Amino acid sequence: MELLDGKVASAAIKENLKSKTELLTASGKRAPHLAAILIGDDPASHTYVNSKVKNCHEVGIRSTLIQRDDSISEEALLQMIRGLNEDKEVDGILVQVPLPKHISENKVTLTIAPEKDVDGFHPVNIGNMVLGLPGFVSATPWGIILLLKHYGIKSEGKNVVIVGRSHTVGTPLSILFSRNTSFGNATVTLCHSRTHNLEEICRTADILVAAIGKAQFIKEDMVKEGAVVIDVGINRVKDSNTKSGFRLKGDVDFENVKGKCSYISPVPGGVGLMTIAALLTNTFDAYIRNNDVAL
């Protein structure tokens, strides 16, 4: 079994971005700039956004973190986004979800200009992905593709089984794997809560992606010998032995499954780090496209 190490793969991507950003600034151009909006005090969201900001800094991408408490009105948030859409010094915008109940995530997504939507959530970007046109692919599916690329794992002709059909992971990933591209051309099965014979279908997977948000859901008897297993889950499980009072667990029962796999991604240290690397890549690409810069 070989580990799909997100630390190693994301470090390579970040190193490349850092040297490209240095080239830009050395030639007198401004650095790419991400604006991140964080509403409320959800601890997990704070951790994710702080990590995004820290990673921007590491590669020389400028970031602005805009924090508001959850009493902000929907209209005030939409106005803030419209302002960032118009700001020529901002290349990428992200609004961390989940949002407070009185704010419509759909309205927020539709308000972000598609050419600054580095999360790839806007319908224009989803449509571009389906048609194979330039746009932004959301960070987690794109990070998974980058992780497989880093390890030279091809999906062409293989059976890919994805468990979980979310808008942000399972659904876009099913499209990326099935398109006629260097990283696609797989036969894809997208499983969900109504799937019959889930365990049997998982056992047909050459590449199995777990993205359902249930800790240790994928057990040893659901995995084919030699399969590649990608764990997208980040579940907080209570653990009184840790300082924080919880431990992060993936959607895969790692300890029991790892012996059966050719490759497996750990949690933490796998897909999560790739998601950030993909976000940085999208922000850099937004800068290049929107400012007509040739590298």
Q: Is 96 in the site for ligand GUN (CB under 6 A)?
A: yes
Q: Is 139 in the site for ligand GUN (CB under 6 A)?
A: yes
Residue 150 one-letter amino acid: H
Number of residues that bind ligand GUN (CB under 6 A): 7
CB 64 within 8 A of CB 36: yes
Q: How far apart are CA 250 and CA 97, in angstroms?
A: 20
Helix axes 6-26, 43-59, angle to 10 degrees: 50
> Out of 66, 97, 110, 198, which residue is the one contacting ligand GUN (CB under 6 A)?
97
**According to the binding rule CB under 6 A, does residue 117 interact with ligand GUN?**
no
- Minimum distance from residue 192 beta carbon to ligand GUN (Å): 19
Choose which of 9, 56, 80, 95 interacts with ligand GUN (CB under 6 A). Answer: 95
Cβ nearer to ligand GUN, comparing 122 with 224: 122
**Single residue of 4, 24, 81, 94 touching ligand GUN by CB under 6 A:** 94
CB 281 within 8 Å of CB 32: no
Shortest spacing between CB 119 and ligand GUN, in angstroms: 5
Nearest CB to ligand GUN, comparing residues 266 and 272: 272
Residue positions annotated with a catalytic role: 52, 96, 119
Stretch that binds ligand GUN, among 13-21, 89-97, 110-118, 176-184 (CB under 6 A): 89-97
Q: Is 119 in the site for ligand GUN (CB under 6 A)?
A: yes
Q: Verify binding: residue 231, ligand GUN, rule CB under 6 A.
A: no
CB 219 within 8 A of CB 229: no
Query: d(Cα 118, Cα 275) in Å, to the nearest integer?
Result: 12
Cβ closer to ligand GUN: 119 or 253?
A: 119
Q: Which stretch binds ligand GUN (CB under 6 A): 15-23, 83-91, 94-102, 238-246?
A: 94-102
- The piece of 59-67, 90-98, 207-215, 244-252 that touches ligand GUN (CB under 6 A) is 90-98
Torsion angle defined by CA atoms of residues 132, 136, 140 and 141, in that order, rounded to the nearest 10 degrees: 0
Which span (12-20, 88-96, 176-184, 245-253) binds ligand GUN, by CB under 6 A? Answer: 88-96
| Angle, alpha carbons 246-251-255 (nearest 5°) | 80
CB of 126 to ligand GUN, least distance (A): 14
x/- contact string, 47-86, with ligand GUN (CB under 6 A)?
Answer: ----------------------------------------
Residue type (1 letter), 254 = F
By beta-carbon proximity to ligand GUN, the closer residue of 119 and 231 is 119
- Residues near ligand GUN (CB under 6 A) are 94-97, 119, 139-140
